[in-house]
Amino acid sequence: MLHRPLGRSGLQTLPLAMGGNAFGWTADEKASHAVLDAFVAAGFSLIDTADVYSKWVPGNVGGESETIIGTWLKSRGQRDRVLVATKVAGEMAPGRKGLSANHIKSAVEDSLRRLQTDYIDLYQAHYSDESVPYEETLGAFDDLITAGKVRAIGVSNHDASQLKLALIASTRHALPRYETLQPLYNLHDRAEFEQTYAPLCRAEGIGVVSYYALASGFLTGKYRTEADIKASKRQRSNSKYMTERGFRILSALDTVAARTNAKQAQIAIAWLLAQPDVTAPIASATSPTQVEELAAAVRLSLDAECLALLNVASAYDGEAARG
């Protein structure tokens, strides 16, 4: 497995990131620590989280994921073996959100405290904030980089035009630029990234750390009927995939699974890793066994015939099916 660059930041990672959204939600501290142990033992390094994870869980206030990662870092003493990526801008409390300089500088201190570390490898603007000039946001990030609290910056949930304007502001004001983009991208959700974001990331040398690698679980092949969906906690997320195209993709995954003796989820991740613009897809796990399966997906190499089958099955409007 080769390391891949996170933009032009100088940071490099193996081609898989562990998503921290499950920590403090579907995985408690003990389970989360076991996942992180297995992830590092498998040779991986990039851990992605956000200050608001997992505020959506009843009784949580946000910061739970960072806190769990922090106790793991403290107890294992492996800070130099991992890259920690977190995010800012989500609403932690009334009046505590966005990308103003004041909020960024306050939020980073909270994240550092929860993570029990002196620096964040990749600090990402979680959401856009049109109420704040790009130069103010980038200036705040510049101060954090200068102070050694942040090594590189990136964005998530920004549209391509916002990312382009931020890059222009970086050049115009001699400020740090966003080195990574965290977009929605998987075998099913292809069109927006491939048509809009990929050309920009390619031209600007921006690393791509994609989320929803398994399309909310749909690409695992577990959801094929309305009964499957009704039994899932992700009912709303999976319903949108139950289309003719969605079932065509599942059929292609089944065919490739039979040829490779791999699971559908592993094939979906291997397909992502075969895409030239992807640095590291994000995948979540709640047990060491799931981490082992993810590691096997990274080692899985799909031949040209399998890739062509998946590309044709997942072709979308406006794209000529690739063979």
pLDDT in tens, the chain (323 residues): 789 999 999 999 999 999 999 999 999 999 999 999 999 999 999 999 999 999 999 999 999 999 999 999 999 998 999 999 999 999 999 999 999 999 999 999 999 999 999 999 999 999 999 999 999 999 999 999 999 999 999 999 999 999 999 999 999 999 999 999 999 999 999 999 999 999 999 999 999 999 999 999 999 998 876 666 565 555 555 678 999 999 999 999 999 999 999 999 999 999 999 999 999 999 999 999 999 999 999 999 999 999 999 999 999 987 754 44
Q: Tell me, what amino acid is at 164?
A: K
What Å distances lie between residue 170 and 124, 126, 130, 137, 178, CA to CA? 15, 18, 16, 10, 8
- Report the pLDDT value the prediction gives residue 322, as an integer from 0 to 100: 45
- The CA distance from 9 to 154, in Å, is 10
53, 123, 134, 212: the catalytic one is 53
* DSSP helix/strand/coil, 41: helix
Which domains, and CATH codes, for the chain? 4-182 (3.20.20.100)
- The CA distance from 16 to 34, in Å, is 17
- Report the pLDDT value the prediction gives residue 323, as an integer from 0 to 100: 40
- The CA distance from 33 to 285, in Å, is 11
Q: Are 8 and 179 contacting, i.e. CB atoms less than 8 angstroms apart? A: yes
Sign of CA dihedral 181, 82, 19, 96: negative
- The CA distance from 214 to 282, in Å, is 9
- Report the pLDDT value the prediction gives residue 318, as an integer from 0 to 100: 72
Tokens for 40, please give them.
């590092």
Query: Tokens 């949930």 correspond to what residue?
Result: 157
Q: Are 271 and 260 contacting, i.e. CB atoms less than 8 angstroms apart? A: no
Query: Tokens 């065919």 correspond to what residue?
Result: 255
- Report the pLDDT value the prediction gives residue 228, as an integer from 0 to 100: 61
* DSSP helix/strand/coil, 215: coil
Largest CA distance in the chain: 55
Residues written for the chain: 323
Which H or E run contains 259? Answer: helix 244-260
- The CA distance from 256 to 274, in Å, is 15
- Report the pLDDT value the prediction gives residue 230, as an integer from 0 to 100: 61
CB contact burial 243-256 (16+ within 10 A = b; e otherwise): eeebeebbebbeeb
Active site residue 53: yes
* DSSP helix/strand/coil, 83: strand
- The CA distance from 68 to 53, in Å, is 11
* DSSP helix/strand/coil, 53: coil
